[in-house]
Amino acid sequence: MEKQKQRHTALYERTNHVSSSQIEHNSISEQKELLTEYAKSHNYSEIKHYSDVGTSGIMFNRPALNELLREAENGNVDTVIVKDISRIGRSTVDVLRIVAELKKNNVRVITVVEGFDTCAQS
């Protein structure tokens, strides 16, 4: 009998400034705290953070985002949770492409602030 692969919940954070200021550091920290609290309060386990610091939302070639997408393609991710849709990107077309790619790989996408959920019932 083949053992089923353990999938994890991906929490994705992004800031667009590399500044070492406390404000920028807190931005990633605050996103991590918000997403971790959301995941735990909604009974998500096996969480893993993917953070891109100093990357613009108009750029889609980001190390952590690329790793997350590879993990999803390999069947290792169950759900992606982000603070808001702009953390994924600023281009609506590209964000929709990424969400569609994740859905194709049976990955649920949730945004905490907007309440967007690809598994929401209409």
Q: Return the pLDDT at 1.
A: 47
Match 């999938």 to its residue by tokens.
7
Q: Return the pLDDT at 84.
A: 95
pTM passes above 0.95: no
Q: Which residues pair with 109 in a beta bridge?
A: 80
- Report angle CA 60, 64, 69 to the nearest 5 degrees: 70
Q: pLDDT digit of tens for each residue in the chain (122 aa)?
A: 455 578 999 999 999 865 555 445 458 999 999 999 999 999 998 999 999 998 888 889 999 999 999 999 999 999 999 999 999 999 999 999 999 999 999 999 999 999 999 987 54
What is the spatial distance between Cα 14 and Cα 17, in angstroms, rounded to a whole number?
9
Q: Return the pLDDT at 3.
A: 52
What is the spatial distance between Cα 32 and Cα 3, in angstroms, rounded to a whole number?
31
